[in-house]
Amino acid sequence: MRWLLVILMLLPQVLRAQTAATLVADNVTLNAEDQLIATGNVVVFFEGTRLSASQIVYDRASDRLLMTGPLVVQDAEGGVLIADSADLDPRLENGILLGARLVLDQQLQLAANQINREDGRYLQLYRTTASSCQVCGNRPPLWEIRAERVVHDTLEKQLYFENATFRVRGVPVFWLPAMRLPDPTLARATGFLIPRQNNTSQLGSGIKLPYFITLGDHADVTLTPYVSPQTRTLEILFRRAFANGSVRINGAVSDDSLQDDIRSYLFANGNFRLANAYQLNFNVETVSDKAYLLDYSYADKDRLESTLSLVRVTDNSLNELRFSYFQTLRDDEPNASLPPIIGEARHEVRLQPRFGGTLGYAASVDTAYRPDSTDGDAGRDVTRAGARADWRRDWILAGGIVATAQGGLRGDIYSVSNDSTFAGTDLRIVPSAMATLRWPWVRHAAGRANHLLEPTVTLSWADVYGGTPPNEDSTRSEFDHANLFDRTRFTGQDAVETGTQLAAGLTWTRLGQAGNASSLTFGRIYRSEAQPEFTPSSGLDGLRSDWLVSGQYTTPDGFLIELRGLLDETIETTRADGRIRWRNDWIDVGAAYIWQTRDLAENRPDTISEWTLNAGFVLSQTWEMSLDARYDIAADRPVQAGIGFEWQNECVTIAVSASRRYTSSSSVDPTTTFGLTGSLAGFSAGRSAGRPAAQCRQ
């Protein structure tokens, strides 16, 4: 009969420390030699450690535990120790285990002829084989490390190998007199990370060897030397966490054969929570030359933005102070045209007044500064200070019609310098009003799809009293289903849609019983006067806008298709774009297409027709493939393409990739890149175990 015994009488030392081991066994006897013998399904629990054996003998005279296997010891960290027999002290801290095998985090296995346990911290393994690979019969594992001695520091979670040989399928590959590796339960530790092989047509074949350095519990830095025949580069990644925020810095310094000067880049960002719900954010982006980021595949940005902002958001208010600096990397775009330096400050409040509706008011100041003092666009500086107030209220009328009324008033003072085309100081007042009628029709039947049909009409008016300032913040406009019924489609405050306009459209939504959902929107805008700020390709120029057609279809199994088109009076396409995606456990495919007619007003002398593709496939339990491509249909040439394969089993991950960037300009040349990385499961700090091991074949 199975029974429970608390071995207080056996361990006087433990009793004095007010701790006890608990033993469970089928049979417990006490012989004449003052030995306690437990047999049959023996289990011992002590301070988070669980030990099971077929027999345990406690010898009071020697104060030792003699155990007969199969012996299994599981500690609180998830480690497992298996042995044929053991001779340990009662606290399981010191002793010898014979024919032992150590399993760490269900990944790494270390088999040894003998394991010595010392001070409850160190395990010394003699004549050891370490591997995380499946072993089938007498066939050697895919990889293994054989060592004369291995010391496992369970406190520091480190493995120290002496006289170690790395083998692949039993064949020795290289030998090291000593090495240190982290055990798989360690989250972070100073040491080398997985090396990466990199081969490009510009920089040649090179290798990156990252070295990770911990700087306490809340900071670390990774230094990555990158060496090839054409470059000597040092990459830096610094991370620091604070009680109220974090900082991350990426950068690199290169001395290469592509340019004579030292090349570098720096990307840094951080955010901090301050008192009174304020948030401080910063972002720094800078580079030594226009081609550096693309030459080293650090980023594919063509404009850089550095910002510093202080923001406070509450339930009914917004306060923001923001400074931005822009740097263009385009060959045909001067930095002054952006403009490069922007400063903004604004305060917004939203209230619920007693007379109904929602009342909002705001005050803001912004400035656009160009370091050049040339008269005209290249040197113009503009500062605007203004305030606005608006009110909105909704009603439900007879027949279910939803009516909305809005009114607003805005005033701005502009100060313009270094541009004689505009007055030095100008005042502008902009009143506006808008009324909207929506009539939702719903069809619902049990067991069938639900339909919502919603015709919408919006009538709005706005006018400008005062001067006409330069347009700095509304040079590009998009026309889509999100702003079809808005009063304005300008992105900023410098440009205003004036006159009377009528927007009419229809939206249909269907919700299927199986979870499928689809929607379709079409409509257009009619104006009393044309808006010269809208370009021909925006679909918003003239007295009547283009027809907007937009639709979406989704399924619960991860399929999505989304389309938008702008059609002119002759049903010719002005702009079209779409995307499609299918995602499940085995496939993730996304494709996008865009078509835009030529428009000199938007600095686009040629038609744009381009598609992009990103795809990932799980080919089997061990193989994955990824694809990406971008093709310029109008120019009939590829822009970029890439392919990658990853093979992973329970103990090895190997990834190979190849990519080609066809971009060519005065500062950037086409580049082909090949990459190779590999890692062994069981040693990489913080990495999870690989895929489940394949079954051994008979």
CATH number at residue 625: 2.20.25
Read off the pLDDT of residues 392-431 as tens digits, 9 standing for 90 and up.
Answer: 999 999 989 999 999 999 999 999 999 999 999 999 999 9
Q: 676 in a domain, yes or no?
A: yes
Q: 215 in a domain, yes or no?
A: no
Residues 254 and 66: their CA atoms lie apart, in Å, by 62
Q: Are 581 and 593 in contact (CB under 8 A)?
A: no
Does the pLDDT value for residue 387 go beyond 70? yes
Of 182, 204, 225, the last residue of a domain is 182
Residues 511 and 147: their CA atoms lie apart, in Å, by 64
Q: 71 in a domain, yes or no?
A: yes
CATH of the domain at 98: 2.60.450.10
Give the position of tokens 């480690």. 79
What letter does residue 140 receive in the DSSP assignment?
Answer: P
- Average pLDDT of the segment spanning 29-49: 82
Phi, psi of 561 (to 5 degrees): -140, 135
pLDDT attached to residue 115: 87
Neighbours of 477 (CB within 10 A): 22
Q: 68 in a domain, yes or no?
A: yes
Read off the pLDDT of residues 598-624 as tens digits, 9 standing for 90 and up.
Answer: 888 888 888 999 999 999 999 998 899
pTM for this predicted structure: 0.81
Q: CB neighbours of 18 closer than 8 A, spacing ≥ 6?
A: none
pLDDT attached to residue 17: 40
pLDDT attached to residue 376: 87
21: confidence class by pLDDT, cuts 50, 70, 90? low
Of 182, 214, 240, the last residue of a domain is 182
| Total domains, the chain | 2
Q: 432 in a domain, yes or no?
A: no
Q: CB neighbours of 14 closer than 8 A, spacing ≥ 6?
A: 8, 20, 21, 90, 91
Q: 59 in a domain, yes or no?
A: yes
Range of the domain at 626: 621-664+668-698
Q: Please, what is the average pLDDT of the chain? A: 88
Q: 295 in a domain, yes or no?
A: no
Give how far Cα 615 sits from Cα of 586, 646, 691, 692, Å.
11, 14, 21, 24
Q: 54 in a domain, yes or no?
A: yes
697: confidence class by pLDDT, cuts 50, 70, 90? low
Of 129, 152, 182, the last residue of a domain is 182
Task: Give strand pairing partners of 321.
Answer: 310, 345
